[in-house]
Amino acid sequence: MKKITFIGAGSLQFTSSCMRDLLTFPEFKKCEFALMDINRENLDAIAKVCEKIKAEMDCPDCVISKHDNMADALKGANGVLCTVFNGDVDIWQYDITIPKKYGIDINVGDTRSVSGIFRALRNIPLMLDICRQIEKYCPNAVFLNYTNPMSMLCGAMQKHANVEVTGLCHSVQHTIEMLGRWLGIAPEEIVYTCAGVNHQAFYTRLLHNGENLYPRLRELMKNPEIYNEEQVRNEMFLKLGYYVTESSGHNSEYNQWFRKRPDLIEKYCTHSTGWNPGEYAYSLNMRLERKKNTVKQYNDFLNNPIDKKKSVEYAADIFNARFGDGKPFVFNGNVINRGSISNLPVDACVEVPVVADRMGFRSTVVDPLPEHLAIMVNTTARIENLVIEAAMKKSKEMVYHAVCMDPLSSAVCSLEELQMLCDELFEKNRDFLGDYK
């Protein structure tokens, strides 16, 4: 019996979606789903959700097991999925509120800029500890990470652990769904190449029946209804020539153009109609609200029929390719560059097309990024490399340097202000970070 372990199983969205997706494959209809979470209430609730999925997907032979001990959950696992992060909203709120004192207005703060950097510092040790336990209890397991900041966590694990690991994000396929809706084309009919770093990857090819879709997309930007749905991303497309993954709110905090002044925030980050326009503390507020309504969310799931259709998440297809029926699967994964994108650092964690099959993960080589995009993505990739090194050496100075090079932080603050900001965040994170020197 194959075994899939969920670390941080209480994440209703990912656990329910990935389990349901796996049960659409014959190879996983007789499978153990090992649920691990340190929150016993959430663990009991997600187990009920998984039992409902098991019943409605008509898979009586699959087994649901509950664990609050990671070692027990990992023993003998073929696949591991991780959605856990260190500190919860109790500490994450300081990543958002302290920068605001210095004029840095954060939308999500889980991927980059000063907030994403400190989230990485908290979570890199946790991820490496998970890897050590995988090495011990299931050394041949395939490890799929869903936790942000994706590039920094995956880069740290791929450089400092001996585990087959990649990181997954759904921004690539969801953006293609959005573009297909605008263009009136089924997403599966769009041929694309997407490359860069997580949340800052660009569609360097966007084709339908051999036609370059970018001229049509540029014409659509004249429609206010379409332009206003994703104001930041659409403005980036019009000025930079290529479409970027991830929402407008996220992308507004990855660069120096949209959040450095109140008037720009009002113009670009307030009135979009997409799911994340860019309002201050959007994700933090959403999670605080979700935390208050956790029981209701589980009950809503339990009281409604499930959607048996497979989602666009990659995890089930990857596990099927690696240790299911072996059908190869191409996905956008987070891997060490090693020449996949020639004009990005060779040791950066990049997001490129990856082939999964019985032999493992094989990264593809794509064309170099257009030079102007390479300048932006190089900055991101080099900052992320510096943060990983800072975490391994527990170096305050390296963290200061990374924050000072961040486009949004440096557009708003002086060097002295950024050091003061970092010192405040180090103090709030002392229980998680220990002594940085």
Domains of the chain, by residue range, sit at 2-167+292-309, 168-280+313-437
Total number of residues shown for the chain: 437
CA distance 48 to 44: 7
**Over the stretch 223-248, which tens digit does the pLDDT of each residue have?**
999 999 999 999 999 999 999 999 99
Selecting among 67, 170, 199, 250, the annotated active-site residue is 170
| Burial tier of 434 (Cβ tally within 10 Å: 0-12, 13-18, 19+) | exposed
Sign (positive or negative) of CA dihedral 371, 159, 193, 111:
negative
User: How much is the pLDDT for 313?
Assistant: 95
CA distance 78 to 63: 15
**Over the stretch 196-216, which tens digit does the pLDDT of each residue have?**
999 999 999 999 999 999 999
CA 2 distance to own-chain centroid: 26
Question: Cis before residue 149, ω within 30 degrees of 0?
Answer: yes
User: How much is the pLDDT for 305?
Assistant: 92
Q: Which residues pair with 35 in a beta bridge?
A: 6, 66
pLDDT at residue 338 above 90?
yes
Is 170 assigned a catalytic role?
yes
**Over the stretch 112-131, which tens digit does the pLDDT of each residue have?**
999 999 999 999 999 999 99
How many CB atoms are closer than 10 A to CB 140? 11
**Over the stretch 249-266, which tens digit does the pLDDT of each residue have?**
999 999 999 999 999 999
CA distance 187 to 164: 30
Q: Average model confidence (pLDDT) for the chain?
A: 97
The phi and psi torsions of 16 (rounded to 5 degrees) equal: -65, -45
Segment 327-335 shows an average pLDDT of 98
Whether 2-167+292-309 shares its CATH topology with 168-280+313-437 is answered: yes
CATH architecture type of domain 2-167+292-309: Alpha-Beta Complex (3.90)
User: How much is the pLDDT for 43?
Assistant: 96
Predicted TM-score (pTM) of the model is: 0.97
pLDDT at residue 293 above 90?
no
Q: How far is CA 378 from CA 150, 322, 337, in A?
A: 16, 32, 12
**Over the stretch 294-321, which tens digit does the pLDDT of each residue have?**
888 999 999 999 999 999 999 999 999 9
Output 252 or 86, whichever has higher pLDDT.
252
**Over the stretch 115-171, which tens digit does the pLDDT of each residue have?**
999 999 999 999 999 999 999 999 999 999 999 999 999 999 999 999 999 999 999
User: How much is the pLDDT for 291?
Assistant: 82
Angle of CA points 17, 18, 22, to nearest 5°: 120
- What CATH number should be reported for the domain whose range is 168-280+313-437? 3.90.1820.10
pLDDT at residue 340 above 90?
yes
Strands 31-36 and 63-67: parallel
Strands 2-7 and 31-36: parallel
The H-or-E segment that residue 380 falls in is helix 371-393
| Res. 88 pLDDT band, cuts 50 70 90 | confident
| Res. 87 pLDDT band, cuts 50 70 90 | confident
| Res. 406 pLDDT band, cuts 50 70 90 | very high
User: How much is the pLDDT for 295?
Assistant: 87
DSSP assignment of 150-191 equals HHHHHHHHHHH--SEEEE--SHHHHHHHHHHHHHT--GGG-E
CB 187 within 8 A of CB 241: no
Query: For the chain, how many helices (H) and strands (E)?
Result: 20, 12
